[in-house]
Amino acid sequence: MASLTRAIKTYYVDHNGRRCPKDAVGAKKVTEASKKWYGRSIPSLPPKKKVPLSADRQVAERMLARMVANAERGMLDLHAVGDERVPLLDHLKQFADHMSLGLACKIRGKAKRPAPPQVALCVQRIRHVLVACRFENAMSLNADAPAALARWLQTRRAITKAEGGLSAQTADFYRKAARRFAWWLSVRKHLPVRPDLFDDVPGFDPRNNRVHLRRPCSTSELARLLLVTRQDPGDYRGMFGEDRFFVYLLAFATGFRASELAVLTRANFAIDADPPVIRLRGDQTKNGRPARQPLPLGVVTEFRPYLECKPADGPLWPGTWCEKPVRMLKRDLDGAGVVYREETEDGPRFLDFHALRHSFVSALAAAGVGVKELQTLARHSDPALTLAVYTHSTNAKLAESVQKLPLPIGGMGAVNPWDTMTREELQAALACSLALNAVLMGGARKPGEAGTSPV
């Protein structure tokens, strides 16, 4: 039966603890067990053959179990045992292939095939970690690796973005990418790497350390943006003023992301339906679920002649504009005299392309739309995300709201109408209230009869 063992090493030392020949005067015999575990009695191998595995016993047990299973199927390859010496950058190529197939996800049952740009970005981050932390092969992913990663992330967080620094959100993405790669090396490649190697690396708090906060676009700003953009004869990556006008209008009226707008065709529009809607397939949305977004009637009126001029097949707005939509929007904001970066008491806030989605949710909330409807229209899985991130309140609206508090101090807040009545008015109001109550209870009393309580 296959088992784990350690190689025994014997040598001699003198009275100073230095190694010496066996026959030296005062030589002392020392016996040590190797740090690395070995597998023995593996099927299809000589009984005394020892195969080096890993210094981590748990990792060595998994490697031995894998070797036994392969040996029983006649697929044992001893050359694969030396994969821990293969450069990690070479393993990264296979990781990219597995990730594109959806085989590099730790959560079982929720794996899905990510988009090619997402795969490329994750691989790029892992490559940065491997080079910066000098993780050359699987043997370098030892007990000191988490400290090296944490130290590098802290160093990048301490410098500015212009110097190559990372925001809290981006640093957390790097940490998660390293965790995924370590898990893949252990589970998929069966290398001597702990699957939870980087789980103890402390994360960051992106929620309280965001450097790019968005702001909603006001009605007047949106009107100026649409007016100036529609009259602009120039183009951005093949998108002329008329095209950009309808992109901005639809982004504000539906809350669609740039990637979702870029795949729209005439077939997605059902403007003659009741109500008129835009339908998206599951492979066209971020959450992978089909969407059915209603359209305002004013938008339908504007879009009808525009759609008739578009080809029946193919996207309405082809090209690469959706890769950098903020550059397109920023140019039009400058032309309309709308501020892109607004300085506030809480730091700068930006009106980028995704801020149009924030504007969509904030405008609906200001119009009194309920929380459930807001969550559904925004296509969020959690209403907390809709209310905490995508809904914005102005200082004027907040000040107006607190004025409605019924404060018990004269001259402050809303006025209690009972405080302005005279004694006679209070008696009359109480009598009417008792009479109405008696009618509702089935037996009316006249004011002044028994049962009334004087003020």
Give residue 451's pLDDT: 46
For residues 376 and 278, state if they share a domain. Answer: yes
Give residue 172's pLDDT: 92
Q: Is residue 83 part of a domain?
A: no
Q: Which two tokens stand for residue 378?
A: 């925004």
Give residue 453's pLDDT: 43
Give residue 412's pLDDT: 47
Q: Is residue 408 part of a domain?
A: no
Task: In whole angstroms, give the CA distance from residue 262 to residue 395.
Answer: 35
For residues 223 and 339, state if they share a domain. Answer: yes
What burial letters (b/e) apply to 156-171, b meaning 16+ CB within 10 Å? beeeeeeeeebbbebb
**Model confidence, pTM:** 0.61
Give residue 353's pLDDT: 95
Residue 99 sits in which domain range? 88-208
Q: Which of 15, 49, 76 is the last residue of a domain?
A: 76
Give residue 288's pLDDT: 84
Give residue 407's pLDDT: 45
CATH number at residue 260: 1.10.443.10
For residues 69 and 170, state if they share a domain. Answer: no
For residues 96 and 182, state if they share a domain. Answer: yes
Q: Which residues contact 411 (CB under 8 A, 6 or more apart)?
A: none
For residues 192 and 245, state if they share a domain. Answer: no
Q: Is residue 427 part of a domain?
A: yes
Strands (E), 149-241: 213-214, 235-236, 239-240
For residues 384 and 429, state if they share a domain. Answer: no
DSSP bridge partners of 19: 13
Q: Which of 55, 76, 97 is the last residue of a domain?
A: 76
For residues 239 and 312, state if they share a domain. Answer: yes
Q: Which residues contact 278 (CB under 8 A, 6 or more apart)?
A: 254, 256, 264, 268, 269, 270, 291, 292, 293, 295
Please name the residue that has the structure tokens 């990730």: 99
Q: Is residue 349 part of a domain?
A: yes
DSSP annotation of 218 reads: P
DSSP annotation of 240 reads: E
For residues 138 and 226, state if they share a domain. Answer: no
- How confident is the prediction along the chain (455 residues), in pLDDT tens digits per residue? 889 999 888 999 988 889 999 888 889 999 999 888 898 888 878 888 888 888 888 878 888 887 887 777 776 665 555 566 789 999 999 999 999 988 888 776 666 788 888 999 999 999 999 999 999 988 899 889 999 999 999 999 999 888 889 988 899 999 999 999 999 998 888 787 888 999 999 988 766 666 678 999 999 999 999 999 999 999 999 999 999 999 999 999 999 999 999 999 999 999 998 889 999 998 898 888 899 999 999 999 999 999 999 988 889 999 899 999 999 999 999 999 999 999 988 788 999 999 999 999 998 888 888 888 888 898 888 887 777 777 776 666 656 655 555 545 544 444 455 555 677 766 776 776 666 566 555 544 444 444 444 33
Q: Is residue 50 part of a domain?
A: yes
The domain tally of the chain equals 4
For residues 356 and 244, state if they share a domain. Answer: yes
Q: Which residues contact 201 (CB under 8 A, 6 or more apart)?
A: 146, 149, 150, 153, 175, 178, 179
Q: Which of 76, 98, 122 is the last residue of a domain?
A: 76
For residues 235 and 194, state if they share a domain. Answer: no
For residues 146 and 241, state if they share a domain. Answer: no
Q: Is residue 425 part of a domain?
A: yes
Neighbours of 364 (CB within 10 A): 19
* DSSP codes, 249-283: HHHHHH---HHHHTT--GGGEETTSSS-EEEE-GG
Q: Is residue 324 part of a domain?
A: yes
For residues 173 and 38, state if they share a domain. Answer: no
Q: Which amino acid is at 297?
A: L
> Which CA distances in Å does 410 have to 55, 400, 414, 416, 422?
77, 19, 9, 9, 16
Q: Which residues contact 280 (CB under 8 A, 6 or more apart)?
A: 260, 263, 268, 290, 291, 292, 293
Q: Which amino acid is at 151?
A: R
Q: Which amino acid is at 102?
A: G
Q: Is residue 401 part of a domain?
A: no
Q: Which two tokens stand for residue 296?
A: 């305002």
